[in-house]
Structure 1
Amino acid sequence: MVSHRRSTQPGVSRSARATVLSAAAATAAATLGAATANAEPQDTSQSAGARVDRLYAEAEHATEQYNEAGENAGRLRGEVSRAQDRAARGQERVNRMRTELGSAARAQYRAGGIDPSLALLLSSDPDDYLDRAAVLDRVNDSRAGTLAELRKAQRALAQTRAEAAGSLAGLERSRAAAGRHKRTVVRKLAEARRLLEALPGADRAAFERASRTGRGAGTGTAPAGLPAGSARAAAAVMAVQRALGRPYVWGASGPSGFDCSGLMRWAYAQAGVSLPRTSQAQRYAGRMVPLAEARPGDLVTYRADASHIGMYVGNGQVIHAPYPGAPVRYDPVGMMPVSSVTRV
C-alpha cells in the first residue's frame, strides 16, 4: 500500500528512485531545514517521506482493526436481535402457562377451596366416581406437567436474557473499540497530511512520483496464456478493474470508494463470493499458493501483520486501494514485502 520503494518488478528502477529522492533531498535541505513544527530539524524529504509511509502503514493497521470491530458489532447486533426475539417468544409462553395455572387455581377457589379429590369422594352420585376419579388424575397430571414446563420455560427465558445481555455488552465493547481505532486512524492520517504539506511543492511531487510505481489505469492486464485461478476469480478481476481510479476511503467497501480489504470484498461480491471484511481474515479465505504460482484473482497480502491486501491481475501487477489521496490503481506485486498469496 504505502512503502512502494521496494519494488522487485519492472517499473521505476532503484537508481531512478534514488536520483529522484536525492534531488528532492537536496531541495529539502536548502528549503525545509527546521522550518516546520511537524518535522525533526534534520528531516529531509526522504526521512519525511519515510515517516509518512510509516504513518500510512500504522493508519491502515488501525483501519483493519476498525473494520474488524465493525464486523464484530454487526455480528453481535444480530445475536442481540435473535436473543431478544427468543426472549419475547419465551415470555409469551411463560405468560400463557401462568394464565392456564391461574385459571385452574381460581376455579378451585370458587369451588370453596376444597381439594378436588375430596369433592369427588363426597359426590352424591357414586356410580360415576371411578370415571370422575380418572378424569381428576388426568387433570392433576396435566397441571403438574404444565407447572414443570413453566419452570423449564422460566429457566430458558433467564438464560436467553443473560445471553442477550452478554451480546449487548460485547456490542458496546466493539463499538468502543471501533471508536478508538477510528480516532487512531484520523490522528495518523492528519499527522501524515501535515508532514506532506510541510514539504515544498517540488518535494511533495517527488514523493508522489516515487510512490507511484505502477503502470497506471488501463494497463497491466494478464498476458495471454495465464488464466485466472477460477471462473469466479476471473469475474473478480473484471470487477476490480472497473474500480480503477476510484478514491481510497478508509473503512469503505464501495462502490464509490474503498479501503484495501473493502475493495477485495466488493470485487469478489460481484463474482458471487462473500469474503470476510478484514485483510487478516481474507488471507485465509482460500488456499495459499507460492507467489511464483500467482494467478489473476489471487489475493496478495502484505507485511507480517497482513494489514494490506491487493488482487494479483497478471503481468507482475496487483490492483489495490493504496492509501488516502491515491486512487485504486495498478502497482508491482513486489511493492512491499509479500506475506501470502491466497487463491479464493
Structure 2
Amino acid sequence: MSNEMEVLVKSGFALVQSPVKRGNDGKKTLKGAHAVLNGENLSGAAINAGTVEWFPKSPLKFRSASYHAIDRLIQSYGVAWGAGTLVPLDKLDQLLAEFEIEKQKFFMNVDLLMPNYDLLIEAHKAQQPDPVKKVIDAVRLDWQSFRASFSIFLPTPSKFMPLTDDLNGTAKEIIDAAMQEICEEAAAIKDKILGKQQVDPKSIKPIKRLADKCKDFSILHPALESFSDQFDALASTLVAPIVGDKQVALVAYLSVLSDPNAVETWMSNNQVEMNDSALNSIFGFNNPSVASPSVLPVFTPAPAQQANANAVVDWESFGI
C-alpha cells in the first residue's frame, strides 16, 4: 500500500460499539419463591423475591471496576455516537491493543478466584441459616461452569459512512459532540486540581488525552488543533513539582477548555467550511478500497482546497 493510500484509508472514523460484558454475579433466582412479611405472602411487580446469593459479593467487585475501566478507555479515544463511539481510524489499532490488555486483566482477576473458589463458597455458606445452606448447595456452580460464565468481547468496528448528502452537517454534529465531551471532561479534571498545593503529575495524562482528542477531530475543524498545540507548548514546562506559575497556567488552560462559551467563541472566530472533496475522503467515499452504498446520493465535489484555520496568535486573550 502506498503512503498516499495509507493516509487515505486512515483519514476517517470507525464506529466502535459498546463491548459485550458478561460476568456471573453469584446470585440465583429461585422459581416459586415468595416474599413473606409478618406471616403474609407478598406478590406483585414491586416485589423481588427468591434470589439467593450463593457466592460472596466482595470477591466479585473487580467486575464493575473492569467494566468502568474499559468504558473509560474507549471513551478516551473518541466521541459518543448513538450506542457506540466514533474513533479516528488512525487510533483504532492502539485502542484495540489497550482493550486486549484490559480484557486480560479482567480474566486474570477471574482466574485468581480459582484456588479458593470452594473455600469462599463454604465460608459464605457458614454464615447462613440451615435452610439457606441447602439452597446454596443446590444452586452453586462448579468452577468450570462459573469460569465459562464470564466473557468480554468487542463487536467488530465498522467504517463510519453517514448516509446523507449533508456531510458538513454531519461534521458539525460530530464536532459539537466532541467539544461537549471535552468541556465536561476538562471541567472534571479542573475541579480535582483546584485548591491543591501542587498538581499531581498523574493528572497530566488525562489532560494529554483531551488535547490529543482535539487534534484527532481537527480533521473536521482545523481550529481544534490550536487547543492541542497550546497544550504541547504548556506540557514542556510541566516538570514536577507543578506549583506556582506552572499550576496557574495549567488551570488557566483547563478553564478555557472547560468553558463551552469560550470554546464556542474560539471555534466560531476560526470557522472553516470543509469542502465536499475533503469530507468525501474523510468519510470514505473517495476511498477505492471502500465501496460506496448504492443508496447514497451522487456527490459532485467542489475543487479540492486545503482547509486551514488561521494560525493561533492570541491565546493571551484567554488569559494564558
TM range (shorter): under 0.3
Which structure shows the higher helix fraction? Answer: 1
Bigger RCO (CA 8 Å, 6+ sep): 1
Q: Which protein has the larger Cα radius of gyration, Structure 1 or Structure 2?
A: 1
TM-score under structure 2 normalisation?
A: 0.23
